[in-house]
Amino acid sequence: MSSPIRLGTRRSALAQAQSGHVAAALEKVVGRPVVLVPITSEGDTNRASLSEIGGQGIFATRLREALLAGECDFLVHSLKDLPTAVPEGLVIAATPVREDARDVAITRGGTPLHELRAGSTVGTGSPRRIAQVRRRAPHSTVVDLRGNVDSRLARVASGELDAVILAAAGLSRLGTDSPLHREELGLSEWPTAPGQGALAVETTTDAPAELREALAVLDDAPTRLAITLERAILEGLDAGCQAPMAAHAVVEGDEIRVRTVVYAADGGRRIGLDVTEPLNEGYIQRNGSGNDADAADGADPIQAVRSLGLAVARRLLEQGAAELVPREQS
């Protein structure tokens, strides 16, 4: 019973930092050591633009293969990097409390993004962030960007770039301390990717009951509800996890609210919805199609918010979102 539990993780500093947080939390639950098993994903070696490769699970596929092959006992992913379809034999066993879901703009002098001078260079590889930059700072030049957090910050510090867009959660988990200036981008006007700031703890469906039960202790119900809604919208749009769309949900008392936007790649057009619903089955009669098997009864709040997300996606498609987002590729 004292043998270590093996946690599979990508090799990046950020991935290992966030996996380390989960490992420490699990050790407190089970009283056993948890060791990290570094795994190299395609996303760590393929330097092509995320707009070309990011929708195909490049950060998760190799890790999932390792889990199914018995090389580790469970995985920790950045949830925003996971395709919406969970492979057969795997299950997301926990979604710990979500970190700050916002993006931040990093600059040398503290100039707000919308006030950057014409021709300023802003680095990001995310199609969603590219579209948002083109709306917020239309006179700037977007530079496609890959690499770890430190290398991105260094390109601003050196003057090679005027700004970069990063996830607040990543900076927090790394404990990054930089003299550069950061501008928090509010979620109402700058919503972020489905699942941003959240982690997914994944294991096999036939994992020992002891492990499944221990991982379940790490699950945060409001986070699980919010990310289920966000990812259902992405699923309903049939778009990749690097699509130029955003969805951020939050549980507020006995209601759940979601702000979702689909962007044209050039930022010139967007389609958005802001929806608030009670956390009960009532919305199913109002918004459900009646054809979704998961909406058959509203007793399960997870299935209820998933049904809501699919309904929101249908509304976006009816308003023309299909013209703006690329279809998911298997």
Residues annotated as part of the active site: 81
Q: What letter represents residue 110's amino acid?
A: G
Could you give the CA distance from residue 20 to residue 34 in angstroms, rounded to a whole number? 9
In degrees and rounded to multiples of 5, residue 268 shows phi and psi of: -75, -20
Cα 100 to chain center, whole Å?
A: 11
Instruction: Please say whether the beta carbons of 120 and 162 come within 8 A.
Output: yes
End-to-end CA distance of the chain: 40
Q: What letter represents residue 304's amino acid?
A: A
Please name which of 129, 105, 59, 96 lies closest in space to residue 226, comparing C-alpha atoms.
96
Instruction: Please say whether the beta carbons of 66 and 52 come within 8 A.
Output: no
CB burial of residue 305 (10 Å; 0-12, 13-18, 19+): buried
Please name which of 52, 80, 144 lies closest in space to residue 329, comparing C-alpha atoms.
52
